[in-house]
Amino acid sequence: MISNLLGIGIVVGSSLIKIPQLYTIYTKSSRGLSLSAFALETIAYFVNYVYGYVHAYPFTTYGENLTLTFQNIIIVGFILKSKFKTILFAIFTLSFIFTPKEFVDITFTLSIPLSLASKLPQIFSNYRNKSTGSLSPITTFAQFAGCCVRVLTSIKNANGDIPMTVSFAGAAALNGVLILQIVTYSRKQHSFSLPSHHRAVSKEKRLD
């Protein structure tokens, strides 16, 4: 019962989970966001959706992947800054719906390392720049929490599907790394800006 309610919450919440990230990009920029990370993540989302649909699992165990796919396509579009390239990417991603049923399991299994690898470009980019750029803390934390819940719902409602459980567990771990980077680099940036603020205040006091 609890896992069902959690699943419903994830599906409903997924329609809003990328809004903070989209808002950050729209009001600021896509600076620091990895195109390869979001592109791979988008494909993995849709393959995950197709897998759950073909296996006739309860929609509450995989439904969020559909809305996340479309939200990510919009984010990729912002990063690409090209309507034509975005349309081509969307067509390529959505074409996985035509995957023959006998190949769906193989495709999903192959998408697991793809899904996990999708986080690595962003993690390395953050590490290289010592900044998370326009990466939204709210969206990242929501994804981490959602993946943790999905581990539970996969075990309870998807017959303990091992590939699905492993996929969500791995994604939760890597989202955890992103959260750690957000906290670490935001603190460093704050510590660097703090002395200059104090110097400005001290200078004002001397002028007075």
Rounded Cα gap, residues 23 and 99, in angstroms: 33
Angle between the N-to-C axes of helices 64-80 and 35-54, in degrees from 0 to 180, rounded to the nearest 10 = 160
Residue 155: predicted pLDDT: 84
Residue 111: predicted pLDDT: 86
Residue 201: predicted pLDDT: 47
Using a cut of 0.85, tell me whether the model's pTM lies above it: no
Residue 35: predicted pLDDT: 92
Helix (H, G, I), strand (E, B) or coil at 34: coil
Rounded average pLDDT per 10-residue block, the chain, 208 residues: 81 88 87 89 94 91 93 95 95 95 90 86 91 89 90 79 88 94 83 51 50
Residue 193: predicted pLDDT: 53
At 108, the amino acid letter reads F
- Quote the distance between the C-alpha of residue 124 and its chain's center: 15
Residue 6: predicted pLDDT: 83
